[in-house]
Structure 1
Amino acid sequence: MRTLELIAYHVKLMLPYIGTQPMGDVCNDSLEDFKLDRLDDGVKNATINRSLEVVRTVMNRAARVWREDGRPWLSAPPLIEMLDEAAQKREPYPLSWSEQAQLLPHLPSLNADMLEFSLNTGTRDENVCGLRWEWEVEVPELQRSVFVIPPEFYKTNRKHVLIPNDTAWHIVQRHRGRHDEFVFVYRRERTVHKDRPPAMEFHRVGTMNNTAFQEARTSAKLPKFRIHDARHTFGQRLRDAGVSEEDRALLLGHAIEGMPQHYATATVARLVEAANCVKKSADRTTLLRVVNG
């Protein structure tokens, strides 16, 4: 978890279960009802663990970092057991081109743009939703920009240079000027007095995995497709198009020893060309899905 918004979200989930307990009384048993209720709601182990990790981090800091009059808040952190994620792990489900064409029309325009951006950059949900204009770096020779995501906002805790291909770049341009901070934003529309000022404010999108996505996935009859599969789709299409392993790693932001964190213009140009190769994989991806059933 890289943002205060996400941490706050998980804290709110936990408050009904441990919010009234003294910190010293919080333990693994205190969280059993939370785990069971979330499982009953159909939430996966990995998602539940993200909340448990927040609790574990808070308790560890209370025992090892935070102090009052020189004494730690807790004498020792309690053991917070994680749920088994491997037991529920599903195989990736990269979209075929026909499935992509089937899914996108079921999404509202903003959601469709964000998903298509991820399909063309391999960008994770949090980095799409939290993409900021301040990270944009112009490359005048190419008449476009890249986005340099800081380490504190990237999963591998290192800088990542996000290279938009032509499709992703056109999406960025459509959203330019809507908000000073975030690329992808939404606002609730008035149901009455629609013309009355002031206009409703724009807000950052919390996650692409929202009700609109769930309903679109159901309507398109693609229940196996998850938001993170957009990243798998981009990676597979790069492979299908014959993009080298090194360039795939650079585009996807894989942490590999010796990988540069900033690229020369010639490298950016090569990577833009490589990212545009996903379009060439259209026939191959569809054929593979047919062969594999």
Structure 2
Amino acid sequence: MLDEESTKRKPYPMSWAQQAQLLPKLPGHLQRMALFSLNTGARDENVCGLRWDWEVPVPEVGRSVFVVPATAFKSKRPHVLVLNDVAWSLVEGQRGKHKEFVFVYRRERVKHIDIEPAMKYRRVGTINNTAFQAARTEAGLPQVRVHDFRHTFAQRLRDAGVPEEDRALLLGHAVAGMAQHYATSTVERLIEVANKVSETRDRTTILRVVNG
């Protein structure tokens, strides 16, 4: 697979209409992973490699954050991944599938479906696989790349008027003097501003993906 970030091209943030075109074309597990990236700005490798042992509950706000270690983050700094309502719903829907990884896939039986054991879930190597490439072509969006989900999240934060400092915290950009483990009040504020990206969302489409 190509390293999308090293391939020279301009960012391509998706519109809501384009998102609605693309997501239904993806298999269910890729729909959920794409939607998670669109609501967190997480890179492909951090969505695919998201681990349950990175989860840190924040009881005061009624959900968790995921602390991505420096060894797994592009800038080699730990990053606190804050989840808005959509991202949190997606994570909740993944519980119990795999003991290590949050987003996983299994091939469903098309015959002998009553035979045990059921197919096992496994880690997804990349969202940018053959199924994703076929889906974007079918949706008429061959120019959309997985890293554009991160650009889309960033653009929607800007469009919603989220301050630059909060955008930097949500996206994991380096900020001088920025603490890597945030106070509860900071997490609460970041959840609130991260939810602003969904203020104009198509709720029917998103609920179908979350519950599917």
TM > 0.5 between the two?
Answer: yes
Alignment partner of 1:127 is 2:46: yes
Which residue of structure 2 lines up, in the alignment, with residue 190 of structure 1?
109
Which residue of structure 2 lines up, in the alignment, with residue 247 of structure 1?
166
Q: Report the residue type matching 1:150 in the other structure.
A: P
Deviation of 1:189 after TM superposition, in Å, equals: 2.5
Unaligned stretches of 5+ in structure 1? 1-42, 51-84, 283-293
Identity %: 64
Deviation of 1:193 after TM superposition, in Å, equals: 2.4
SS in 2 for 1:99: helix
Which residue of structure 1 lines up, in the alignment, with residue 83 of structure 2?
164
5 Å matches for 1:259-278?
A: 259-278=178-197
Deviation of 1:187 after TM superposition, in Å, equals: 1.3
In the superposition, relative to structure 1, how do residues 194 and 158 fare at CA in structure 2: closer, same or farther (>3 Å)? same
TM-score (norm 2): 0.90
Aligned counterpart in structure 1 of residue 129 of structure 2, from 206, 210, 218: 210
Counterparts of 2:30 and 2:177 in 1: how far apart (Å)? Answer: 36
SS in 2 for 1:155: coil
Deviation of 1:257 after TM superposition, in Å, equals: 2.1
Aligned counterpart in structure 2 of residue 199 of structure 1, from 92, 112, 118: 118
Which residue of structure 1 lines up, in the alignment, with residue 144 of structure 2?
225
SS in 1 for 2:56: strand
SS in 1 for 2:67: strand
Unaligned stretches of 5+ in structure 2? 202-212
Which residue of structure 2 lines up, in the alignment, with residue 153 of structure 1?
72
Compare the two structures and name the one with the higher helix fraction. 1
Counterparts of 1:185 and 1:155 in 2: how far apart (Å)? Answer: 22
Counterparts of 1:234 and 1:150 in 2: how far apart (Å)? Answer: 21
Q: Report the residue type matching 1:92 in the other structure.
A: P
SS in 2 for 1:156: coil
Q: What CA deviation, in whole Å up to 9, does each residue of 1:74-106 have, x standing for no partner?
A: xxxxxxxxxxx6xx6111110000110111111
TM-score (norm 1): 0.66
Counterparts of 1:142 and 1:107 in 2: how far apart (Å)? Answer: 32
Counterparts of 1:279 and 1:184 in 2: how far apart (Å)? Answer: 21
Deviation of 1:256 after TM superposition, in Å, equals: 2.1
Q: Which has the higher contact order (CA 8 A, sep 6+)?
A: 2
Which residue of structure 1 lines up, in the alignment, with residue 207 of structure 2?
none
Which residue of structure 2 lines up, in the alignment, with residue 177 of structure 1?
96
Aligned Cα root-mean-square deviation (Å): 1.7
Q: What count of residue pairs does the alignment treat as equivalent? A: 201
Q: Which has the greater radius of gyration?
A: 1
Deviation of 1:281 after TM superposition, in Å, equals: 6.2
Contact 1:154 1:160 in 2 (8 A): yes
Q: Report the residue type matching 1:205 in the other structure.
A: V
SS in 1 for 2:65: strand
Q: What CA deviation, in whole Å up to 9, does each residue of 1:212-249 have, x standing for no partner?
A: 11111011101111000000000000000000000000
